[in-house]
Amino acid sequence: MSDEQDAIRVAVLGARGRMGAEVCKAVDAATDMKLVAAVDQGDALADLADAGAQVVVDFTTPDVVMDNLRWCVDQGIHTVVGTTGFTEQRLEQVRGWLADKPGVGVVIAPNFGIGAVLMMQFAARAARYFESVEIIEQHHPGKLDAPSGTATHTARLIAAARAEADLGPVPDATKDEVAGARGADIDGVRVHAVRATGLVAHQEVLFGTTGETLTIRHDSYDRVSFMPGVLLAVRAVPTRPGLTVALDPLL
């Protein structure tokens, strides 16, 4: 157990949300951390600085996360971001802010579940051996964005592996007569988003080649599944200046 004064001072943004509330509980229960601020919509960001936060954890929404992150970086506060919506353009913008703030660390991960990280690694590894691939992500109906950050990240990893192996486009003769019937196209990989009450966060990557298919599936049945990854990032981010994308380099 750490002394109170050695504990990492953590603040949570989006603290009343599904993920934020779970992060507050996990930080409270961690003996090497202290929850110093729990901030949600309508609260002032200045509360984070006033509370002396060393690390901010952001689980808000794609439309506000960039402003939050910019503010944290400007204040010199390390930040762990689980909020989705990070395009390559947004990541470049964050790198630009961090260039002016040496010593500040930001970890942005599309999925903090250890099983989900492995699922993405396995999918990237399998990609070169299969001419066909589709991603099916399934989530609770309260989710604001589609396709999920995890599915988008997985599609990009698969597309990079396919390009490296010179695989060419996924074969598909279908005419998309009803818009959306074949899902979204992320870097040439079809992604289908399912929303249903009872689901939390689930993803299947379906690979196919002559005479066989391979399905790689991950299920988060409870948001506690993301907490070990979030706490790992909180512990790591103060000693990782610059931008870290995804959890893989921390495992």
Ligand X SMILES: O=C(O)C1=N[C@H](C(=O)O)C[C@H](O)C1
Q: Which does 139 bind (CB under 5 to 8 A by kind): ligand NAI, ligand X, none?
A: ligand X
Q: What is the DSSP letter of 186?
A: E
DSSP notation for 68-133: HHHHHHHHT-EEEE--S---HHHHHHHHHHHHTSTT-EEEE-S---HHHHHHHHHHHHHGGG-SEE
- Identify the residue among 39, 201, 231, 234 touching ligand X (CB under 6 A): 201
Token pair in block for residue 113: 């579940």
CB atoms within 10 A of CB 126: 16
Q: Interface with ligand NAI includes 110 (CB under 6 A)?
A: yes
Q: What are phi and psi of 147, to 5 degrees?
A: -70, 165
Residues 43-62 interacting with ligand NAI (rule: CB under 6 A): 59-62
Active-site pick, 78, 139, 153, 218: 139
Q: Which does 41 bind (CB under 5 to 8 A by kind): ligand NAI, ligand X, none?
A: ligand NAI
Name the minimum Å distance from CB 27 to ligand NAI.
Answer: 15
Q: Interface with ligand NAI includes 64 (CB under 6 A)?
A: yes
Q: Characterize the bridge pairing of strands 184-186 and 189-195.
A: antiparallel
Binding mask of the shown chain, residues 199 to 218, with x at each position contacting ligand NAI by CB under 6 A:
--------------------
- Identify the residue among 14, 105, 149, 183 touching ligand X (CB under 6 A): 149
CB atoms within 10 A of CB 132: 14
Count CA atoms closer than 13 A to 235's CA, side-chain side: 16
Of 8-16, 46-54, 152-160, 208-216: span binding ligand NAI (CB under 6 A): 8-16
Size of the chain in residues: 251
Q: What angle do CA 55, 92, 110 make, to 5 degrees?
A: 55
Of 107-115, 156-164, 185-193, 236-244: span binding ligand NAI (CB under 6 A): 107-115
Of 20-28, 86-94, 146-154, 233-241: span binding ligand X (CB under 6 A): 146-154
Name the minimum Å distance from CB 200 to ligand X.
Answer: 7
Instruction: Check if 192 is active-site.
Output: no
Please give the sequence-ordered ranges of beta strands (E in DSSP) within the chain, or none if there are none: 8-13, 33-39, 55-58, 78-81, 105-108, 132-139, 184-186, 189-195, 201-209, 212-220, 242-245
Q: Interface with ligand X includes 150 (CB under 6 A)?
A: yes
Q: Which of 31, 26, 67, 71 is CA-nearest to residue 53?
A: 71
Q: Interface with ligand NAI includes 16 (CB under 6 A)?
A: yes
Instruction: Check if 139 is active-site.
Output: yes
Using CB under 6 A as the criterion, which residues of the chain lie in contact with ligand NAI when the complex forms? 13-14, 16-20, 39-41, 59-62, 64, 82-84, 109-112, 149, 226
Using CB under 6 A as the criterion, which residues of the chain lie in contact with ligand X when the complex forms? 84, 110-111, 139, 143, 148-150, 201
Catalytic residues, by residue number, are 139, 143
